[in-house]
Amino acid sequence: MAEKIQSNKLFYGWLIVAVGFFTLFLATGARNAFGVFVVPMSEELEWTRSQVSAAGAIGILINGLTQPFIGRLYDKYGGRSVISISLAVLGISTMLMSTISNIWMLIVLFGFVSSTALSGASLVTIHAMIARWFYRRRGMALSLCSAGPSAGALVLVPLATYLIITANWRVAWFAMGAFIFFLALPLAYIIFRDDPKDIGEVPEGRKNANANNLKAGASGAYVEVQPPLATENWKESFRSPPIWQLSGAYFICGMTTLIISFHYVPFALDRGISPGEAAAAFGLMGGLNVVGVIIIGFLADRFSRKNLLGTVYAIRFCAYVLLVMMPGSLGIWGFAVLAGLSWVATPPLTSSLTADIYGLRNLGTLGGISTLAHNVGGAISVLAAGYLYDKLGAYEIPFALAGSMLLIASIASFSVKERRYSVRYQKAATEPSTAGDGD
């Protein structure tokens, strides 16, 4: 397959981006549909909102806790095998969600099994793979792939809603799992390659790279100059500020996205919005995620990535202001528009900055640790929102608390010393940079 693609003069990395997009479309998209299952499952099985939120929070936390370990497995064994095995487990466990009869089954299947499997078929592993294939257009490649979960939400959330209405939630869960197992798994196993050199390729943007960015290796080959903070031991990365700034902001990112994944549809229903309209608003959010992440991909290879990241968090803060302050449908749809444009723009910018500042050697591990922070924040917000809803009968306070944290995330992102540490600026002394102002 790889040889045939090369003979047609198509850079194989773009095929990996396409399959990465589709993998995330199904794997993460199906998981993002959890919100539309909350009410029907709770009503049939007589669960409280706190119980469902607790199961969801456990899933988010387990997904985060396993990310660094899965990322380390990626760095050691490569992505093709890790992602393929994870998709197999994820597909089977999602199909088994159709058999749930009590809260403990939900905790085991969703909270532990599928959440661990999702760690291996996530933005962390797929971003780490794509980063090895692209240099000059890394931001665009990562952004296109990152649109997968949003496109998945755009299609799979309404589809799951339709299946729940016309059949039941058990049929909907089985269908989601079948899509992952029978569609995403075969494509990932056939197409994914861990490194361009595996098929005799070089990373995009490196064939005619400026000599200032390369140095001669022992065999006469050329290897990439590393950024100032690149290190053999991933633990040493935490002696410098950028990883703390990026991970801290990503913690808040998790707080403000995962709470929406679990509680946005129930919040809309509480405001008198019909299930169909609520699913449509969530779907619009997913569609605008695709638009926003593509725009960010175009800008990320031309301007300062940390400034873009800070701006994205500020836009999401404005979305939360609309959600909490504006009544009825106006707040629901206004949030969908602004949050949709900013939601998935953060992962490719965070991954790109991590790769630019710390290099590729430990990207899976560092990405996993940042995602751990992301999911810890998400678990806290999901659990707190469910608890406060049961106590207060409303979501406004937890949404307001989560949204206000975005100001901190924005400041942390703007303060990253990108020009000092990013490999994109290491050539500035001899070659004009197209990356814009870094600090």
Q: HSE-up of 174 (CA within 13 Å, CB side)?
A: 10
pLDDT at 33: 84
Q: Is residue 208 domain-resident?
A: no
DSSP string, 67-128: HHHHHHHHHHH-HHHHHHHHHHHHHHHHHHGGG--SHHHHIIIIIIIIHHHHHHTSHHHHHH
- 409, part of any domain: yes
Per the CB < 8 A criterion, the answer to whether 327 and 267 are in contact is no
Which residues make Cβ contacts (< 8 Å) with residue 162, sequence separation at least 6? none
* Predicted local confidence at residue 50, as pLDDT: 78
Place of tokens 């665009």: 140
Q: Which domain holds residue 288?
A: 11-195+227-424
Q: Which pLDDT value is given to residue 434?
A: 47
In a domain, 232, yes or no: yes
The predicted pLDDT at position 334 comes to 92
In a domain? residue 431? no
Which are the contacts of 160, defined by CB distance < 8 A and separation ≥ 6? 30, 33, 36, 37, 172, 175, 176
Q: Are 308 and 300 in contact (CB under 8 A)?
A: yes
CA distance 317 to 163: 33
332: CATH: 1.20.1250.20
Full-model pTM: 0.74
pLDDT of residue 214: 43
Domain count, the chain: 1
- pLDDT score at 282: 80
Residues 6+ apart with CB under 8 A from 99: 105, 170
pLDDT value at residue 142: 87
Tell me, yes or no, whether 296 lies in a domain.
yes
**Intervals of the chain under pLDDT 50:** 208-222, 428-434
Domain presence at residue 162:
yes
Q: What is the DSSP letter of 227?
A: P
Q: Give tens-digit pLDDT for 106-145.
A: 999 999 999 999 999 988 899 889 988 888 888 889 888 8
Cα→Cα distances 217→222, 223, 225, 242, Å: 5, 6, 11, 29
Contact 129, 4 (CB under 8 A): no
Length of the chain: 439
Characterize the bridge pairing of strands 222-224 and 214-216: antiparallel
In this structure, is residue 236 part of a structural domain? yes
Residue 368: inside a domain: yes
